[in-house]
Amino acid sequence: MTVSYRQPGVVLTDRRFTVPLDHDTPSGETIVLYAREAVASDKAGQDLPWLLYLQGGPGFGANRFIRKEAWLGRALEEYRVLLLDQRGTGHSTPANRQTLPLRGGPAEQADYLSHFRADSIVRDCEAIRPQVTGGAPWTVLGQSFGGFCAVAYLSTAPEGLDTALVTGGLPSLDAHADDVYRAAYPRVARKVAAHYARYPQDVERARRIADHLLTHEVVLPNGYRFTVEAFQSLGLMLGGGDGSHRLHHLLEDAFVRTPGGPALSDAFQEQAQALLSFAGHPLYALVHEAIYGQDARPTAWSAERVRNEFPGFDAAKTLAGDEPLLFTGETIHPWMFDCDPALRPLRETAELLAARTDWTPLYDPARLAANEVPVAAAVYHDDMYVHTPHSLETARAIRGLRTWVTDEFEHDGVRAGGPRVLDRLIALARDEV
């Protein structure tokens, strides 16, 4: 049963689809996909082309818009939009600490989650496309990991695409996770240096908080063990357009005076808890490194291993001297499965995924070199989450792809830029600029 309802200027319709868990075994187990169809109120009765939106992540459901926000208003000028909760996210047969035990033990859970990468997501899209469009190709808009999925789509089922639009999500076609993180840590250090240049008072604030966490055991209200490494991971915010400002406001009121001496304030702990918890997106932690697995090499906690090559990120060594504390970025570590109550029951499952050696290629360079689908991509000049040189190398490898390289936006440009980013990409793909 479909249900339609209205928001300001938009008609939304809830849609559900049944697809195979393993598309190579179509008669086997199935899962449910959920998506919201969106159309402008004044175009609800019109026959419009479709735009499929693939959210970043992995592990996040599609945006829950409440009006023509961000890029959606521009899209609704000419498209019906399908906001897909990718498998395992949102309302699409969720995968988390509560549901995964239905699969069995950690080995069964890891096998199940091996079907939650870009290749399976693309096959989901192709399975539901005839039900949505009547068989016509659609335009795909992929943000971040959604862009990885768009490149996989171009590699495996380009006949399903009218146009591909990518924002901050052109992946390397062949880099191992180690290559990704080896490039990432220096980039993150640059973002941290830029933050301290903007807010020099945060140097001492960050050092003070880190010192407190090294010398005190802090457990957040939800049971999260708040370690210094967890504090450093808040640097993830620095990849967004307003992230530096948000981090600054978080740090400025971290401590309060108590009868027992200075302590981290309840307000600070509450905000940190919301930022650190994976309760709403556990797949992000579970399969994040797996999105880079394409051969027999295990990912083997790549971000943790590679971090050891960059001693500047060692908080204890930093505090023994007088250097600014370095925050970290988009990295997943084993300690997260000890600290976060939403992840603790899944630690062994995560270990098995990290050790897996049967990952298959996600991209087809030969097919991409012969691409005939119009493609346009926004590449952010110093994107903290996706290595710009990797993106540009891939752009050159996809026939006909047009890039818009800009330092006007950070990784979240498609959200922060309102209609401008999508408008530019549509024009590029149509060869109008």
Distance CA 183, CA 91 (A): 34
CB neighbours of 315 closer than 8 A, spacing ≥ 6? 210, 214, 228, 229, 232, 325
- Token digits of residue 89: 């996210």
Distance CA 433, CA 425 (A): 10
User: What backbone torsions phi and psi does residue 253 show, to the nearest 5 degrees?
Assistant: -125, 40
Angle between helices 177-198 and 388-397 (to 10 degrees): 130
CB neighbours of 345 closer than 8 A, spacing ≥ 6? 97, 101
Distance CA 295, CA 358 (A): 7
Is 122 in a helix, a strand, or coil?
Answer: helix
Termini Cα distance of the chain:
43
Q: Which of 2, 56, 74, 78 is CA-nearest to residue 288?
A: 56
Q: Which of 145, 169, 143, 140 is CA-nearest to residue 157?
A: 140
**Active site (catalytic) residues:** 144, 358, 411
Distance CA 104, CA 346 (A): 12
Q: E strands within 353-428?
A: 375-380, 402-406
| String of DSSP letters for 270-281 | HHHHHHH--TT-
| String of DSSP letters for 284-297 | HHHHTGGGG--SSS
For 325-371, the three-class secondary structure string (H helix, E strand, C coil) is: CCCCCCCCCCCHHHHCCCCHHHHHHHHHHHHCCCCCCCCCHHHHHCC
